[in-house]
Structure 1
Amino acid sequence: MAQERKITVQRTIDAPAKDVFEMLTNPERHAELDGSGFVRSDEKSDRIQAVGDVFMMNMTGEHMGGEYQTDNHVTAFDPNKMVGWKTAPAGTEPPGWEWLWELEPQGPDSTLVTHTYDWSGVTDQALLDKVGFPLVTQDQLEDTLGRLAAAVSG
């Protein structure tokens, strides 16, 4: 049986979908949301506004030998419903992993947030072996949802 190559977590957050979406589409806030500890800061990126946008993040991690930057190519954008991006080392094309956020209103002040980390598009076996996917754990993704909940309700 093939191993699942994605992790999905969900949480209902006490905030309207538009507030959650506003937070997720602002790269300046991503370091505060990141439960993995890899995201350090945004590199003067504009708000995500459409599929095709690219935003740069300053990162850190032993898997990359310390400090590095990523280009994040927006692959999904539906206002107040969905945003997603594929991450790549700065200046390169995305090798196939994607982060997707889906928002489903549960009333005027509550949103079911589904966050998926999907590396099924990574086909380079050497990269799969080097990185050791999943690089981010389910617990770290759940921590990200907790940080998002705190940020939008705070």
Structure 2
Amino acid sequence: MTTSQTVSRTINAPATEIFDLLSNPERHAEFDGSGFVRAAVKPQRISAVGDTFRMDMEGPHMGGEYQMDNHVSGFQPNTLIAWKSAPAGTEPPGWEWLYELKAEGSGTTEVSLTYDWSAVTDKELLKKITFPLISEDSMEQSLASLAAAVNG
């Protein structure tokens, strides 16, 4: 059984510029391919593992509007940023978003986006949500939108 999916894209921008955008939750709605992210709540730049940022979201899988807390689980400037998402005020139930950046020269970067739900073990949650909730096509749209946002 598959428990993660990864998509990659070369973006015509330095890793520093892409990381700057990824570490700014206020801009996350610009490159969300799922269509669920609406806006950051009290946006503050991500600066370390352990940071938490809250997002306003909307989707039929949650009955409309909701909020998610994102717990930063990986942070290496210009190389890696990751977070585990959870309904606001709760602990993460086991899925993680991971962006890896590999500079390919002075002006291009290979960006890989991984959606990993391998740590989801809550049987009730697994009855409610069929993983992956986000398709590879939506993830590819996220990277296309990220490229547009960083070059816009």
Question: TM class by shorter-chain length?
Answer: over 0.9
Paired amino acid for 2:140: E
121-130 vs 34-43, which moves further: 121-130
Taking the TM superposition and a 5 Å limit, the aligned residue runs for 1:2-151 are 3-151=1-149
How many pairs does the alignment contain? Answer: 152
**Unpaired segments of 5 or more residues in structure 1?**
none
**Unpaired segments of 5 or more residues in structure 2?**
none
Question: What is the CA-CA distance between 1:145 and the residue it aligns to?
Answer: 0.2
What's the CA shift string for 1:75-124, capped at 9, x where partnerless? 00000000000000000000000000000000010000000000001001
CA distance in 2, matches of 1:75, 1:97: 11
Aligned-residue CA RMSD (Å): 0.5
CA distance in 1, matches of 2:116, 2:36: 17
Percentage identity across paired residues of the two chains:
61
Question: Which runs of structure 1 show a deviation greater than 4 angstroms over 4 or more consecutive aligned residues?
Answer: none
Report the TM-score, using the length of structure 2 for normalisation: 0.99
CA distance in 1, matches of 2:150, 2:29: 14
What's the CA shift string for 1:13-59, capped at 9, x where partnerless? 00000000000000000011100000011001200000000000000
Q: Secondary structure at 2:8's aligned position in 1?
A: strand
Paired amino acid for 1:87: S
Q: Secondary structure at 2:111's aligned position in 1?
A: strand
Report the TM-score, using the length of structure 1 for normalisation: 0.97
